[in-house]
């Protein structure tokens, strides 16, 4: 059974850097075709894709946020980490991580974490 | 950047068919997935690769994609289907979600 769980600070100040961790189980981050993505959702608003890292360390970023995001993975801990710099109140949102497999389901997010709410406020 | 457009809301009577559209430039050339999200919950994949259903998703959910429009159809809509629905696609570099459609079962 594939599971993902997000963790990190829930309250950050403007201009600070946010670090979120996605702990995964039930699959290997090394497995060919596997990816883990980050998606966020401001309160009452739509889903917004942020970043994705593939099994081969290839990284993809949202063009609108590319300069602020870094996604990495730690194979020893089965974790994917997202950092976002220069946080602003408009970045207040629930942040989700999700599993993706290019081979079987064709680049969609088939299993999602529970999400973690991040508030940006001074 | 690529954009996917959805109508904000759709209303449907129980037992009737709900049709949710998602439009984008030459969307029919790409694979589309659909997600259902109920209040306070994480999204759930209901359709992938335009028309395939993951295990556990009821057969009343179906999808199609042609031209500039992808469509999610819920046949025999039930009260439990009331939720927000998002389309999603990708190209070689980015992933995109639609603006979402709230389905209300009246």
Cβ-Cβ contacts under 8 Å, B49 against chain A: 105-106, 108
Residues A94 and A71: their CA atoms lie apart, in Å, by 17
State the smallest CA–CA distance between residue B11 and chain A in angstroms: 19
CB contact under 8 A, A64 and B88: no
Distance (Å, whole) CA A40 – CA B97: 11
Over residues B54-81, the pLDDT tens digits come to 999 999 999 999 999 999 999 999 999 9
How far apart (Å, rounded) are the C-alpha atoms in residues A110 and A87? 28
Q: What is the pLDDT of residues A29-62, one digit of tens each?
A: 999 999 999 999 999 999 999 999 999 999 999 9
Tell me the CA distances in angstroms from A89 to A10, A93, A107, A116, B32, one per residue in order: 13, 9, 31, 16, 32
Q: Residue B22: pLDDT band by 50, 70, 90 thresholds?
A: very high
């Amino acid at each position: 059974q594939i599971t993902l769980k997000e963790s990190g600070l829930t309250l950050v100040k403007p201009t600070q850097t946010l670090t979120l961790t996605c702990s995964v189980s039930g699959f290997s981050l090394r497995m060919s075709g596997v990816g883990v993505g980050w998606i966020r959702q401001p309160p009452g608003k739509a889903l917004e894709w942020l970043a994705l890292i593939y099994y081969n360390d290839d990284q993809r970023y949202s063009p609108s946020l590319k300069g602020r995001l870094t996604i990495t993975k730690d194979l020893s801990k089965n974790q994917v980490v997202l950092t976002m710099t220069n946080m602003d109140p408009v970045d207040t949102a629930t942040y989700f991580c999700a599993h993706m497999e290019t081979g079987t389901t064709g680049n969609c997010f088939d299993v999602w974490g529970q999400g973690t709410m991040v508030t940006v406020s001074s | 950047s690529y954009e996917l457009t959805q109508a904000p809301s759709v209303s449907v009577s129980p037992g009737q068919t709900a049709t949710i559209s998602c439009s984008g430039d030459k969307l029919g050339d790409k694979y589309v997935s659909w997600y259902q999200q109920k209040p306070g919950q994480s999204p759930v994949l209901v359709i992938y690769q335009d028309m395939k259903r993951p295990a556990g998703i009821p057969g009343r959910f179906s999808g199609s994609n042609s031209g500039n429009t992808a469509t999610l159809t819920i046949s025999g809509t039930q009260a439990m289907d009331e939720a927000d629905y998002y389309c999603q696609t990708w190209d070689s570099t980015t992933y995109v979600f639609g603006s979402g459609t709230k389905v209300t079962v009246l």
